[in-house]
Amino acid sequence: MEQAVAARHRAYAPYSNFTVGCAIMLENGIVVTGNNQENAAYPSGLCAERVAIFAAGAQYPGVAIKEMALTASPKDDTLKIPVPPCGACRQAIAEYENNQQQPIVIHFMGASGTVAKASSLKDLLPLIFDQSYL
């Protein structure tokens, strides 16, 4: 979570002023971080979770993800309640959890305060659409 907080402070969020940081712990001990990257063409931006998990997949393909830590708040750090990942990020995380056949533990908080924990992405997104339907 410390690395997620540091990543949040590097976020590029000039339009929403809502900053998000994500740190991913791989089974080899390496931590990959990401943060939200916004764009003047708003839909072209990307959430912190997907920046981080795609970076992990790009740099360490086939290396299992053990845990993810998320922190999110307006830039003024006022949000003190846990912020769960958005639906699109849950779908993206599900692909990795399914492929590695072991759960990804997800810890999430606001700028500080209570840290909520999901023991698996499946706890946040039941009835997942995955490649088995294709």
Question: Which residue is associated with the tokens 């690395």?
Answer: 3
| Chain Cα centroid distance, residue 100 | 17
Residue from 85, 94, 106, 121 touching ligand THU (CB under 6 A): that is 85
Taking the complex as a whole, how short is the minimal distance between the CB of residue 91 and ligand THU, in angstroms? 11
Residue from 47, 56, 65, 69 touching ligand THU (CB under 6 A): that is 47
Whether 95 is catalytic: no
Quote the tokens at residue 78: 């006022």
Sketch the per residue contact string, 88 through 107, with ligand THU: x for CB under 6 A, - otherwise.
-x------------------
109, exposed or middle or buried, with CB in 10 Å at 0-12, 13-18, 19+? buried
Q: Does 45 bind ligand THU (CB under 6 A)?
A: yes
Are 26 and 61 spatial neighbours (Cβ–Cβ below 8 Å)?
no
Are 28 and 63 spatial neighbours (Cβ–Cβ below 8 Å)?
yes
Chain residues in the site for ligand THU (CB under 6 A): 13, 16, 18, 20, 36, 38, 45, 47-49, 85-86, 89
Active site residues: 49
